[in-house]
Amino acid sequence: MSTFRFQALKETANRKLIAVEKLEKKSKIFGSNVFNDKAMRQFLTPEAYKAVQNAVQNGAKIDRVIADQIAMGMKEWALSKDVTHYTHWFQPLTGNTAEKHDAFFETSFDGSDPVEKFGGSQLVQQEPDASSFPNGGIRNTFEARGYTAWDPTSPAFIYGTTLCIPTIFVSYTGEALDNKTPLLRALQAIDSAATDVAKYFDKNVRKVTPTLGWEQEYFLIDRSLANTRPDLLATGRTLLGHASAKGQQLDDHYFGSIPSRVLNYMRDLENECMLLGIPVKTRHNEVAPSQFELAPIFEEINLAVDHNSLLMDVMQKVAERHDYKVLFHEKPFKGVNGSGKHNNWSLATDTGINLLSPGKTPMSNLQFLTFFINTIKAVHDYEELLRAAIASASNDHRLGANEAPPAIISVFIGQQLTKVLAELEGVTKGKLSPEEKTDLKLNVVGKIPDVLLDNTDRNRTSPFAFTGNKFEFRAVGSSANCATSMTTLNAIVAKQLKDFKEEVDALIAKKDLKKDEAIFNVLREYIKQTKSILFEGDGYSEAWEKEAKKRGLSNFKTTPEALKAKVSKKAIDLFEELAIMNHVEVEARYEIELEEYTKKIQIEGRVLGDIARNHVVPTAIRYQNTLIENVKGLKEIFGKDFEKIAKQQISLIKEISEHIEGINAKVDAMTEERKKANNLSDISKMAAAYCDKVKPYFEEIRYHSDKLELLVDDEMWTLVKYRELLFLR
Ligand code: ADP
Ligand code: MG
């Protein structure tokens, strides 16, 4: 009997509910482990408090003396909460978060004067030994060192007994080595571009901030079961496993009653989130068995991105307490739905207006249409770059797999707004007559809020959908760091708004148009130019693939193909123009992502070869041997009649041999292709080889293994099966 598997099954069956600490009301405890406004007022001098506010709101620099004061206040606050260590918390290009803890504790070299210390210099800047983080050659060509620097726009927080200070991570020559720095730069770009445009409508707008509400999907699998699967442990997904007879056919999991053990996990997690100031709000079962979702109230984007990264870490830690493992992989199981991370995105002004929400007056609706149409134009012009921003080895399994948005980027806006755009397309060129203006204001622009209120249009197959007061970027992968997609989205919209402003101003200056006339004129042209990106139909259908091709939209199904857009001249020009990344930073990221892709497929190939040869084949042989023994015995007893009696067994023996042979042949061939790929020196060629030559063997090997799983005695099978992984909880 296969002991490890059955021991795990037994452990899972005997699980007890883990009690969840009952905390005070959410509104009471929210953010109590965050150095937020309330804590700052209490622990900072008025001068230091003002300096932080000024840095957050206006990007002002903080001088050394004040930094010392802030550090002192932060330390006092942290010590009052039994904190012993501090760390700069950052997001290197691995996609994860990184931290290195130092104790507050210090003494003189002779051991005298022990004291808790934390000064401005430790708060503001650190130099982690960063040589092992991916840098795409940046630190080879420039300086060898990197440093982390405090980002005051994301408040410090306490996790466990450590004070975590969100930081950026840059090289000594200033190149960004992380995901946060380009995001912050993109936020500056869109703030300045969007504020300029918003001023057409309201002179008082001084700042525009993008907002983000992510929806995190994940699988929750019993830890003992997950531990028996080398593929889950090493790659985050199952490389083998026959489909369970019951999967998600009955749709009985989606929004169903949450299993008790899972619910306790969620409650525990929510407690942690409340303390950390992560405003989680929604929890529910997702479509696939053992798949769930968690969504917060939306926040300012930099904070929302940090919160998602932090959450993913916390989710795994809380899962340990409840004997679960969280799977963030976009496609952990074949045959059931994968996971995404919808990024709900909008733009908010410091005057409290959501720029993607229709208002009450024609003017505010024209403002809405301006931002709405400019976003569509941005996606239209940069669809390839947006596709590249969500490319990863794991998300390749999801995009275009007939259950998630396709690899083709398009925008869904709903019937009513489609109609509004059609009417705006008919706006007269140049000056508008007073009648036309009135008609537009009353009958087109003026009607929008009513139109949207009863707009229940939802299109779940669209990668980028307008949902009433925000866009939902649905193609983002569940394991992704939101910074990548959000940097790109904000960059392309910033660029678009900048161009828009120039065009409108030119019309006002040269053609003597009124502001609203100029805006109508430019928007009309955009509507004409961007039709190819709008799609309201079924994004999963084959017809759409054909149609999209006709329209000239890209359809990159694999990461190596999709990523190329990142280093196109158009992309580099965009990032350089907006001072978000220079070409070195862009190229470095491209290289890092190709490397990551290659390594992931390489690891999958190795793990698959290993499991197939060391688990599946030996198990199949063992079972085959019992069959052979059986046939031999039958022969002894029945003599010449045995062939008829042992017919089934004999054909099984042959069938097993064929699959063993299949596995061996394919694993050999795959290994050969890996060797060839490894000899390539160009990283883009290597990634392509892994994609086109190595990866196709995965399905072939899996085919034989999954067949064997159905043939071999259940008691002998060593790998925990799909029906166990997905249904025991
Ligand atoms: P759904 O029907 O898709 O669940 P919801 O309106 O409940 O839609 O919102 C889903 C997510 O969108 C939530 O995380 C929410 O916080 C976020 N969201 C709502 N409004 C905005 C906004 N203006 N900007 C960014 N995110 C938003
Ligand atoms: Mg949603």
3-class SS string, 310-331: HHHHHHHHHHHHCCEEEECCCC
The b/e string for 166-175 (b: 16+ C-beta within 10 A; e otherwise) is bbbbbbeeeb
Instruction: Assess contact for 574 and 495: CB atoms under 8 A.
Output: yes
Distance (angstroms) between ligand 1 centre and the Cα of 408 equals 23
pLDDT of amino acid 152? 92
Phi, psi for residue 555 in degrees, rounded to 5 = -145, 75
Residue 598 has pLDDT above 60, yes or no: yes
pLDDT value at residue 147: 85
Choosing from 308, 470, 482 the residue with most ligand 1 atoms within 8 A of its CB, the one to mutate for a pocket test is: 470
Question: Which atom of ligand 1 has the smallest separation from the CA of 297?
Answer: 16
357 close to ligand 1 (CB < 6 Angstrom): no
Ligand nearest to the CA of 476: 2
Predicted ipTM? 0.94
Pocket flag, ligand 1, residue 213 (CB < 6 Å)? yes
Domains (ranges, CATH) in the chain? 31-178 (3.10.20.70), 188-238+249-581 (3.30.590.10), 596-727 (1.20.120.1560)
Alpha-carbon distance of 645 to 7, in angstroms, equals 36
Q: How far is the CA of 474 from the centre of ligand 1 (A)?
A: 12
Average the pLDDT over each of 128-137, 193-202, 308-317 and give the range with the smallest value.
128-137
DSSP state of 98: B
Q: pLDDT of 365-404, one tens digit each?
A: 999 999 999 999 999 999 999 999 999 999 999 987 767 7
Please tell me the predicted confidence (pLDDT) of residue 68: 93
Residue-level pLDDT at 463: 94
Residue type, 534: L
* 189 CA to centre of own chain: 22
Q: How far is CA 671 from CA 235, 605, 615, 674, in A?
A: 18, 8, 18, 5
Helix axis angle, 583-611 relative to 696-711, nearest 10°? 30
Q: For residue 509, report the distance from its CA to the centre of ligand 1, in Å.
A: 39
Q: Specify the ligand 1 atom closest to the Cα of 354.
A: 23
Q: Which pLDDT belongs to residue 134?
A: 76
pLDDT for residue 606 is more than 50: yes
- pLDDT category at 263 given cuts 50, 70, 90 is very high
| Residue 350 predicted with pLDDT over 60 | yes
> Does residue 208 register a pLDDT over 50?
yes
Q: Which ligand is nearest to the CA of 216?
A: 1
Which atom of ligand 1 lies nearest, measured to the CA of 215?
14
Confidence tier at 57 by pLDDT (50, 70, 90)? confident
Q: What pLDDT score was predicted for residue 98?
A: 86
Average pLDDT for residues 274-291, to the nearest whole number? 92
Nearest ligand 1 atom, CA 298: 16
Confidence of residue 139 (pLDDT cuts 50, 70, 90): low
Longest distance between any two alpha carbons in the chain, whole Å: 106
Nearest residue (by CA) to ligand 1, atom 13, is 213
**Is the Cβ–Cβ distance between 315 and 167 less than 8 Å?**
no
Which residue's entry shows tokens 């700052």? 40
For 421-460, write each residue's pLDDT tens digit: 999 999 999 898 999 988 888 888 888 877 676 555 677 8
In whole angstroms, give the CA distance from residue 261 to residue 324: 10
Confidence of residue 142 (pLDDT cuts 50, 70, 90): very low
Residue 589: name the closest of 491, 670, 499 by CA: 491
Distance of alpha carbon 345 from alpha carbon 618, whole angstroms: 51
- In short, whether 717's Cβ falls inside 6 Å of ligand 1 is no
Write the pLDDT tens digit of every residue in 478-511: 999 999 999 999 999 999 999 999 999 999 999 8
List the one residue out of 554, 491, 514 whose CA is nearest residue 188: 491
At residue 131, the pLDDT reads: 66
For residue 721, give the 3-state DSSP assignment.
coil
pLDDT for 141 equals 46
Question: Residue 5 carries which side chain, given as an amino acid letter?
Answer: R
pLDDT digits 0-9 by tens, 11-43: 999 999 998 888 788 888 999 999 999 999 999
Token pair of 569 as six digits? 């001249």
- If phi over 0 gives left and psi between -120 and 50 gives alpha, with beta otherwise, what is residue 236? left
Q: Using CB atoms within 10 Å of the CB of residue 258, give its burial: 0 to 12 exposed, 13 to 18 middle, 19+ buried.
A: middle
**pLDDT tens digits, 530-549:** 999 999 999 988 999 999 99
